[in-house]
A and B are shown apart, each in its own frame.
Chain A
Amino acid sequence: MLAVRGICKAYGAKRVLDGVELDLAQGESLVVIGGSGTGKSVLLRCILGLETPDAGAVLWQGQPLAGRRAAFMEGFGMLFQNAALFDSLPVWRNVAFRLLRTMPKARARAIAIEKLARVGLGPEVADLYPAELSGGMRKRAGLARAIAADPKVIFFDEPTTGLDPIRAAAINALIRGIVDETGATAITITHDMSSVRAIADRVALLDRGRVRWQGGVAEMDAAEDDYLRDFVAGRARPMARGPQA
């Protein structure tokens, strides 16, 4: 459904992505892992067209995405690392942002409240502003916005960063539940191994701008790649060996 072909991206002399290749089937949940600064977020931004790659292409349903980005975005949702809620709008308007273009306000608000409930936020949150929410609540509201229009493709950028383990587990369970329920195709980027185990059908390890290893989540523990084994176990490695970029 979604394929990344040879994506390269450099900032000056710093090569962040160096020929990334990925394939994603319909309804599959792929988790991209890798150390800090390995280009995971840049990869998502290149797929979305928020950054222009130096080389390579993204294919959607077998065709280049570049010319059909508007159609792709119509069925797309994203949870940003810090939720990226619009400060000037109340929570329900954030969640219903896309819906308000196509339906009356009352209907959009009702759906927004329904989606907020889906992520565990009550209707009393709907009229608050993002600045009045805790970090965990913002993340949930961001998740509600990502799924508000029942997208076919969802990206999750570091969904549990900055959350305590209990809230992180709740977010992981929500994401898995949403992906299973809606049949959406999902890419999650994280370095949180509990998220990987909870969310992933398949895992790709990004290192030095390339996909170093990929396989099913069940195969991850038995993999022979030494960097992956250390990453999964959380073992320290000499800094020089750490991912560049």
Chain B
Amino acid sequence: MNPARLTGRAVIGLTRLTGRVTIFALRGLAGIGQHPAELARQVMQIGWLSLPVVGLTALFTGAALALQIHSGGERFQAGDVVPAIVAIGMARELGPVLGGLMVAARVASAIAAELGTMRVTEQIDALVTLSTDPMGWLVSPRLWAALLCVPVLVGVGDVIGIMGGWLIGVNALGFNSAIYLSNSWAYLESWDVVSGLLKGAVFGLIVALSGCWFGMTAAGGAAGVGRATTNAVVAASVGILAANFALTGLFF
């Protein structure tokens, strides 16, 4: 086939898909407040239950970062920058990105599997026959819960990550505890934290949107649900990394 025609077809397909996903997201976000009990349930599922995995990820990341910065910094007598680099690195980059990726692995897959199963077992059709809009009942609470919870998870992850660096700094690298903490605080600017939280909100939306989109459009029985789950995690992970690049360029 003509390469120009192939390219054109791909561009049209991508544009059409982007439009459909955008409308899907806007319809989902517009359904806020329809089912507060469902929103509360999703806040528990997406926010509270993700806390252990995000916290552990941040703890080990902060600790490893402290070791790396100390080891690398020593080469040019800059080992003292460990507290500041750990704090800035966690707040700006590692907290939101790794937190987002962990939430993607845990939440996007769960959402896609649950909604996909509901789709192929006619539960979503049953909602329609019970005069309930599936977008308002299923999609909106998940989008809003992720949008609101992931920034909070990122904030908590930042604190735990800095604590991980502090634990290693004080116990293994010979830092004075009070000086480590004051150095962490002294070099950290409010925009470092706020930009990370904004990234968290965007990443949360990407995670929930991927799960909801692939779940709601699943077809073809158990195999279809499996494909939806895989696609949701892949799309959410790549989406987070791509959005992180774009937002970092925009913010800094």
B121-133 vs A, CB cutoff 8 Å, 1 = contact: the mask equals 1110110111110
B125-148 residues with Cβ-Cβ distance < 8 A to A are 125-126, 128-132
Q: Which of B114, B130, B132 has its CB near the most chain A CB atoms (within 10 A)?
A: B130
Main secondary structure of the interface of A (DSSP, over half): loop
Q: Which of A25-33, A84-92, A236-244 contacts B (4 or more CB under 8 A)?
A: A84-92
A50 in contact with B131 given A82-B121, A86-B123 (CB within 8 Å): no
**Pair A98/B130 contact, Cβ less than 8 Å:** yes
Q: Write out the residue numbers on chain A whose beta carbons fall within 8 Å of the beta carbon of B131.
A: 70, 73-74, 98
The reply to whether the CB of A77 lies closer than 8 angstroms to some CB of chain B is: yes
Interface residues on A, range: 20 to 34
Q: Is the CB of A85 within 8 A of B129?
A: no
Q: Check A84–B126 contact: CB distance below 8 A.
A: yes
* Smallest CB separation, A111 vs chain B (Å): 15
User: Is the Cβ of A48 less than 8 Å from the Cβ of B121?
Assistant: no
A60 interface contact, C-beta 8 A: no
For A78, what are the chain B residues with a Cβ–Cβ distance below 8 Å? Answer: 126, 129
B244 within 8 A of A: no
Indicate if the CB atoms of A82 and B122 lie closer than 8 Å: yes
Is A227 part of the binding interface, using a Cβ–Cβ cutoff of 8 Å? no
- A154-B117 Cα distance, complex, nearest whole Å: 25
The bracket for how many chain B residues form the interface is: 10 to 19
State whether A50 touches B125 (Cβ < 8 A).
yes
On whether the beta carbons of A84 and B130 are closer than 8 Å, the reply is no
> Main secondary structure on chain B at its contact with chain A?
helix
Q: Which residues in A have their C-beta under 8 angstroms from that of B128? A: 48-50, 73
User: Does A80 make an interface contact (CB < 8 A)?
Assistant: yes
- Please, which residue of chain A has its CB at the minimum distance from the CB of B133? A70
Q: Given the complex of chains A and B, what is the CA–CA distance between A57 and B145 in angstroms?
A: 40
A213 within 8 A of B: no
Q: Which residues of A contact B123 (CB under 8 A)?
A: 84-87
Residue of A at shortest CB range from B37?
A100
For the complex, is A161 an interface residue (Cβ under 8 Å from B)?
A: no
Residue of B114, B118, B122, B130 near A81 (CB, 8 A) is B122
Asked if B122 and A84 sit within 8 Å, CB to CB, the answer is: yes
Does A76 make an interface contact (CB < 8 A)? yes
The reply on A97 being an interface residue by CB < 8 A is: yes
A-contacting residues, B86-145, CB 8 Å: 114, 117-118, 121-123, 125-126, 128-132
Residues B122 and A80 in contact, CB atoms below 8 Å apart: yes
Distance of A187 from chain B, by nearest CB (Å): 13
**Interface contact B117-A80, CB-CB below 8 Å:** no
Interface residues in B207-228 by Cβ distance below 8 A to A read none
User: Within 8 Å CB of B118, what residues of A?
Assistant: 86-87
Q: Which residue of B lies closest to A94 (CB)?
A: B126
- Set of chain A residues within 8 Å of B129, measured between Cβ atoms: 48, 73, 76-78
Bound-complex Cα distance A67 to B119 (A): 25
Distance (whole angstroms) from the CB of A83 to the closest CB of chain B: 9
Of residues 96 through 122 on chain A, the ones whose CB sits less than 8 Å from some CB of chain B are: 97-98
Q: How far is the CB of A82 from chain B (nearest CB, A)?
A: 6
Chain A residues positioned under 8 Å from B121 (CB to CB): 82, 84
A residues less than 8 Å from B125 (CB atoms): 45, 48, 50, 80, 84
A45 to chain B: which residues have CB within 8 Å? 125
Known interface pairs A70-B131, A73-B131, A98-B131. Does A87 touch B126 (Cβ–Cβ under 8 Å)?
Answer: no
The distance in angstroms between the C-alpha atoms of A17 and B125, with both chains bound, is 20
Q: Residue of B at shortest CB range from A146?
A: B129
Closest CB in chain B relative to A236 CB, distance in Å: 29
- In Å, the complex CA distance between A122 and B231 comes to 42
Nearest B residue to A75, CB-CB: B131
Those 9 A-B pairs whose CB atoms lie nearest each other, nearest first: A84-B126, A84-B122, A78-B129, A73-B131, A80-B122, A84-B123, A98-B130, A97-B130, A50-B125
5 more CB-based (< 8 A) A-B contacts, given A81-B122, A88-B114: A73-B128, A73-B130, A78-B126, A82-B122, A84-B123
What are 15 residue pairs bridging A and B, where the CB atoms are less than 8 Å apart in the complex? A48-B125, A50-B125, A73-B128, A74-B131, A76-B129, A78-B129, A80-B126, A82-B121, A82-B122, A84-B121, A84-B123, A84-B126, A86-B126, A87-B123, A98-B131
Chain B positions within 8 Å of A, measured between CB atoms, are: 114, 117-118, 121-123, 125-126, 128-132
